[in-house]
Amino acid sequence: MHVYDILGIGFGPANLALAIALEETLPEVNAHFLEAKQAPAWQDGMLLPGSNIQNHPVRDLVTLRNPRSRYSFINYLFEEERLIEHLNLPVEFPLRKEYAQYFAWVGRHFAHYADFGSRVVKIEPDQVQGDPCYVATTAAGRRFAGRALVAGTGRTPHVPEPFAAALGPQVFHLTDYLPRLAALSASPERIAVIGGSQSAVEIVLDLARRFPDAEIVNYLRAFGLRLKDTSPFSEEGYFPGFTKYYYGASRERKRSLDSYLRLTNYSSADADVLHELYLLIYEQRLDGRQRVRVQGNRQVIDASLAGSRISLVLAETNYGDIEHDEVDLVVVATGFRDLGPQPNQEPYPALLTGLRDLLTFDQDGYLAINEDYSLITASADAPLIFLNGLCESSHGIGDSGSFSLLSLRAATIAGGYLARSGYQPMPLREMEDSPA
């Protein structure tokens, strides 16, 4: 079994950005990545027609770290001979499908760094040829070893308790949206979409287009769908300076910062889709043909299979009245889980269960993570483990899995690897100035 210097799990945007950073700044480091998907793909379950991205397109896989990199979104457009047409588009943000194509284009250039179709099911500490390392085993039984590990697996979907037991072809998380629709044998007559996120609103609109005769109800606990906080002052939460500021704050102050910045990314949606949905609902009322509804103040307390349908039990959040509904499909658009001890969080990425004895936690019960994203392990001799894209609870909203800071995070991880492993550090200027 070959031992890589760095073994990465997952080859989504976070670890692809790291692969590029390593190639551009530390080409002698022997890195390899294992990816469950068959080919590079970004959010392929949610490439909805007309949907756009939520980050400034220049905050791509590389530009904040190295604006001269070949792998920028702008250079992708240039090489694909679409730059001038793209710049002429009457939109603020590119289509999600175009950004996904950009991601796949870069991914293909770095395909030699990765084994696709390789879902890692187990990671264990081991020794190979006398080297302490981690060994990852894939679902097909292949084994790969790394002297350092970088987990970049994306966050775990959050599926609230009532839906967990009902998950399947008719009840699914937003990340499975398009594949589940493609597998339907008949058009649904009634659909429930759960949650008040950007994805929930996009899905309601998409369902209304696909199934114009179906009744679609969006249930959410809050009073109504909220507008995303796009104030440029709030958006400074996605600055690297904020990541440092947040990392150093106490848990209590972190909670306060979280509640202020929450609406920049969670339980809220952009004005364009909110306005489109509101107008659609109003127009259906004018036509005397109400098909789409948004039902706030509702919490689903039970979801179970009833014949060929899903039976929902709901509680009105302010009065406690119990209601019932029966639907053909339930799309759970309730986001993702962060790391932490709270009920909707997970203590550590499930994939690290085999390394449980090495993990340490701070006094508040959060996984202990250094500022450079390496884990503070129980043994000083343990090989390095980095988390890439999973650290919102320690590093703040800029680590919420978005594109915003991932190119800079890749540089931090590469720098952390250099500083902590046996490699001779390159002078920082050399890293910053190295050409693509």
Ligand X SMILES: Cc1cc2nc3c(=O)[nH]c(=O)nc-3n(C[C@H](O)[C@H](O)[C@H](O)COP(=O)(O)OP(=O)(O)OC[C@H]3O[C@@H](n4cnc5c(N)ncnc54)[C@H](O)[C@@H]3O)c2cc1C
Interacting residue ranges for ligand X, rule: CB under 6 A: 9-15, 34-37, 42-43, 46, 53-55, 119-120, 152-154, 175, 199, 351, 389, 401-404
Going by C-alpha positions, the residue among 297, 302, 301 that lies closest to residue 318 is: 297
CA distance 414 to 110: 17
| Smaller CB separation from ligand X, 33 or 417 | 33
Please give the structure tokens belonging to residue 270: 């952009």
Shortest distance in whole angstroms from residue 53 CB to ligand X: 3
Q: Pick left, alpha or beta for residue 234 (phi over 0 → left; psi -120 to 50 → alpha; otherwise beta).
A: alpha
Are 407 and 61 within 8 A, CB to CB? Answer: yes
Shortest distance in whole angstroms from residue 101 CB to ligand X: 14
Task: Give the count of beta carbons closer than 10 Å to the beta carbon of residue 223.
Answer: 11
Shortest distance in whole angstroms from residue 104 CB to ligand X: 11
Which residues fall within 8 angstroms of residue 360, CB to CB, at 6 or more apart? 367, 368, 375, 376, 377, 378
CA distance 11 to 16: 6
Backbone φ and ψ of 233, nearest 5° = -70, -45
| Smaller CB separation from ligand X, 69 or 407 | 407
Shortest distance in whole angstroms from residue 121 CB to ligand X: 7
Please give the structure tokens belonging to residue 95: 């289509």
Shortest distance in whole angstroms from residue 257 CB to ligand X: 19
| Smaller CB separation from ligand X, 43 or 377 | 43
**Which parts of 250-397 fold into alpha helices (H)?**
251-261, 271-286, 392-395
CA distance 95 to 98: 5
Shortest distance in whole angstroms from residue 40 CB to ligand X: 8
CA distance 383 to 127: 10
First to last CA, the chain: 31
Shortest distance in whole angstroms from residue 288 CB to ligand X: 34
Are 253 and 409 within 8 A, CB to CB? Answer: no
| Smaller CB separation from ligand X, 218 or 404 | 404
| Smaller CB separation from ligand X, 373 or 417 | 373
Backbone φ and ψ of 306, nearest 5° = -130, 95
Shortest distance in whole angstroms from residue 148 CB to ligand X: 17
Q: What is the largest CA-CA distance in the chain?
A: 75
> Counting every residue, how long is the chain?
436
Cα dihedral: 200, 202, 203, 204 (round 10): 90
| Smaller CB separation from ligand X, 6 or 314 | 6
| Smaller CB separation from ligand X, 115 or 326 | 115
Task: Give the count of beta carbons closer than 10 Å to the beta carbon of residue 144.
Answer: 23
Shortest distance in whole angstroms from residue 382 CB to ligand X: 21
| Smaller CB separation from ligand X, 34 or 355 | 34
CA distance 12 to 37: 10
Shortest distance in whole angstroms from residue 342 CB to ligand X: 20
| Smaller CB separation from ligand X, 42 or 366 | 42
Q: Which of helix, strand or coil describes residue 267?
A: coil
Q: Which residues pair with 34 in a beta bridge?
A: 9, 115
| Smaller CB separation from ligand X, 99 or 312 | 99
